[in-house]
Structure 1
């Protein structure tokens, strides 16, 4: 295995990294004071200065008030932003802090505050400084939790959240290269001690990755895996969309006012496409949030068995509820509808008749 030799990110590289957002009206840069986000601010400022026209840049620091040094770090970001000619705001997470699950709660609060700041600034995008190392850690984290193909795609270069686009322009860049960029520019940055706290998952994974890298399971290969899985995921999504249209065209029954799909046509599809369609239908009509992958897989296994037995005499009708949706198989028709309100008495859940 060859060790990565850190190289500062050049202005030419920065132009390539930020080019997709050249026509954005304004961009919020989420800068915590750590090396990744400070480097992003430095590179974005250089990129914008080299343009005759381009998006307005606004720097926002979210102070989670979890560490005594956080306020000082926010002031340091404000000072550097001013030297770069960029406006800066500090937003504070003032809610009560949970006793557990602090990283996840802090992340949710941060994104909510950043989206609010973006709307106030008239920005269409928020830039976060996730790196290739972060992507690799996300792959390992989701692999350890048994995620499917979509989950193992890890972080997308751009996603929508609260009406604002979250962009990750540094997702292909190694953290070491960003630190080398700051070292060359003689720019200081903060070090968050929680990034090495073994009580949290990501720091433990970072330690583990040192040993995994010796076997070739390093950040570049894990990030490459995420890219390849994203490519496969996009192809499977297109196939699922085509399969849904096919079922709608070939399985329609004008006598059936409730709609639904031909169960045998559904059963003829590849299992992965069946699962994606089922998840899509559950999420579309369910009222209890996205269905869990494992529960959807268990439901699909029941459906497959029930469809195979549906042509036999005395085959029972199947009724299951999941994620606030009702899935029924009756007389060769498969339907997914909003589940009826649960009765106050009784245990609810899955039923079979």
Structure 2
């Protein structure tokens, strides 16, 4: 029977991925009070930084006890010498898709708080277990490589602000053990076991899947491989977009015939990048993008016929000359 890791080993496990974010820039640590973010806050405070470290807790207002829990996090943060901010999600809450809406609101509030205090990085306590659940959810949803790449270790949260997940390859059990060894008392969120939510239902399946070999480690390895391949495809799409651009004063204008020679996976991503560059927002469902590219655009390019389609608020216009432009779609006329 193997010996239990020492406290020094457990501390080192958390310190190694966390150190690159310390002594680099001011930090804002998102702490819900659960074991993951509690361990993150505690370890960061113990390691210290030459720059300010702030803590923020988002009160989503979805449970009566949430404000009490946020205040408890504040007490724990201040005991570690860290300033604490409670960020409140105000206004009406949607009746459907509440978790997605709460996530969007949470990141918006964190970005706003980071801007106010001058933080350049927001840290969250996402773990390998969270990554495995995310990949599994996206697998069930029929996602492509982009979705199966899971959460990125780092991404841009707002201009000049990065979101980082230093513990993304550490198991939750290691963070729970860290809290136990240091006498920390994290909060327990009952929504994590609420089977009204898809993530909670899938979480219940993971032990059975693990017995068949699909354990969290393999799901995380799948995410790493998909992220590696996705980055290569994206880079190829960026190169193609730059090479086949037609100079224009406005809009995004491309040489459609040159794009037609691209492999499907690269063409798909090139069109997606063009839509985003043109200001396309709203839903980014893969099925809609695939329909545009493979059912409309690719056949039109092959036949040399013009088409006009709208996706994400962008007018995609393929002219008779083979020039493909992306620009804001005109506003729809209201019925008279």
Common fold by TM > 0.5: yes
The one of 127, 130, 137 aligned to 1:134: 130
TM-score, normalised via structure 2 length? 0.88
Residues 126 and 167 in structure 1, CA contact (< 8 A), matched pair in contact too: yes
Q: Match for residue 170 of structure 2? A: 173
Q: Secondary structure at the match of 2:24?
A: coil
C-alpha contact 2:10 2:174 (8 A) present in aligned 1: no
SS at 2:244 equivalent: helix
Check if 1:237 corresponds to 2:244: no
Task: Indicate yes or no: 2:145 matched with 1:149.
Answer: yes
Residues 1:303 and 2:300 aligned together: no
Match of 1:103 in 2: 99
Question: SS at 1:135's partner residue?
Answer: helix
Label 1:188 to 1:284 Cα distance change in 2 as closer, same or farther (>3 A).
Answer: same
Q: Any unmatched runs of 5+ in structure 1?
A: 311-315, 347-353
Which one has a bigger Cα radius of gyration? 1
Gaps of 5+ in 2: none
In 2, the alpha carbon distance for the partners of 1:187 and 1:317 equals 64
C-alpha distance 67-325 of structure 1, shift in aligned 2 (>3 A): closer
Match of 1:206 in 2: 203
Is 1:25 equivalent to 2:22 in the alignment? no
Q: Judge conservation of contact 2:255–2:324 (CA < 8 Å) in 1.
A: no
Q: Match of 2:309?
A: 320
Instruction: Report how far residue 245 of structure 1 moved.
Output: 3.1
- 1:246 aligned residue: 243
Q: CA deviation at 1:342?
A: 4.4
Q: How far, CA to CA, are the matches of 1:186 and 1:322 in structure 2?
A: 53
Contact conserved, 1:18 with 1:44, CA < 8 A, in 2? yes
Match for residue 341 of structure 1 among 326, 330, 333: 330
Instruction: Measure, in 1, the Cα distance between the counterparts of 2:329 and 2:83.
Output: 52
**In the alignment, which residue of structure 1 is the partner of 2:86?**
90
Cα deviation, residue 83, structure 1: 2.3
Indicate the SS of the match to 2:179.
helix
- Once the two structures are TM-superposed, the CA of residue 26 in structure 1 deviates from its matched residue by 1.4
The 8 Å contact of residues 128 and 216 in structure 2, kept in 1 or not, is answered as yes
The CA deviation string for residues 130-166 of structure 1, in whole angstroms up to 9 with x for no partner, is 1110011111111222222112111111122233321
CA deviations 1:288-311 (Å, max 9, x no partner) are 54643212211222222222222x
Residue 191 of structure 1 aligns to a residue whose secondary structure is: coil
Equivalent residue of 1:10, what SS?
A: helix
> Which residue is 1:280 aligned to?
273
Q: Distance in 2 between matches of 1:115 and 1:236?
A: 29
2:54 matched residue in structure 1: 58
- Is 1:78 the counterpart of 2:59 in the alignment? no
Preserved CA contact (<8 Å) 2:251 2:327: no
> What is the alpha-carbon distance in structure 1 between the residues aligned to residue 86 and residue 213 of structure 2?
41
Q: Which residue does the alignment assign to 1:265?
A: 258
CA root-mean-square deviation: 2.6
Query: What residue is the counterpart of 1:351 in the other structure?
Result: none
Query: Is residue 282–residue 336 contact of structure 1 (8 Å, CA) maintained in 2?
Result: no
Displacement of 1:214: 0.8
In the alignment, which residue of structure 2 is the partner of 1:36? Answer: 36
Give the 3 Å change call, closer, same or farther, for CA 292–102 of structure 1 in structure 2: closer
Change in CA separation of 1:20 and 1:290 when aligned onto 2, cut-off 3 Å? farther
C-alpha deviation, 1:259, in angstroms: 8.7
Match in the other structure for 1:350: none
**Cα deviation per residue 1:261-286 (whole Å; 9 max; x = unaligned)?**
44432222111111111111122225
Is 1:64–1:92's contact at 8 Å kept on the other side of the alignment?
yes
Residues 98 and 299 of structure 1: CA distance in aligned 2, closer, same or farther (over 3 Å): closer
Separation in 2, partners of 1:216, 1:31: 33
Superimposed CA distance per residue, residues 172-206 of structure 1 (whole angstroms, 9 cap, x where no aligned partner): 11000000001111211111111000001111010
Deviation at 1:168, TM superposition (A): 0.8
Give the TM-score taking structure 1 as reference length: 0.84
